[in-house]
Amino acid sequence: DIISRDDLVAFLIFLKEKRYATSTIARRTAAIKSFFDYLVAAKVIATNPTDQLDSPRVDRYLPKAISIHQVDELLELPLTATGPEALRDKAMLELLYATGMRVSELVALNVEAIDLEAQQVRCFGKGNKERGLPIVGTAVTALEEYLDLGRRQLGRSPDPHALFLNHRGKRLTRQGFWLILKGYAERLGLNDLTPHTLRHSFATHMLNNGADLRSVQELLGHASISTTQI
* 92-113 per-position pLDDT tens digit: 999 999 999 999 999 999 999 9
Q: What is the pLDDT of residues 23-74, one digit of tens each?
A: 888 888 989 999 999 999 999 998 898 887 877 776 556 668 899 999 999 9
The pLDDT of residue 59: 59
Of residues 57, 26, 60, the one with CA closest to residue 229: 60
Query: ∠74-75-76 over CA atoms, to 5°?
Result: 90
CA angle 134, 115, 217 (to 5 degrees): 25
d(CA 104, CA 42): 44
Specify the pTM.
0.71
Helix locations, the chain, DSSP H = 5-17, 22-41, 68-76, 84-99, 103-107, 138-145, 174-188, 195-208, 213-220, 225-229
What pLDDT score was predicted for residue 151?
94
- At residue 62, the pLDDT reads 64
pLDDT at 65: 87
- The mean pLDDT of 193-207, rounded to a whole number, is 90
* Residue 16 confidence (pLDDT): 85
- What sign has the CA pseudo-torsion 122, 124, 67, 185? negative
CA distance 215 to 206: 10
**Burial label, 6 (beta-carbon count in 10 A; 0-12, 13-18, 19+):** exposed
- Is pLDDT above 60 for 85? yes
Higher-confidence residue of 75 and 58: namely: 75
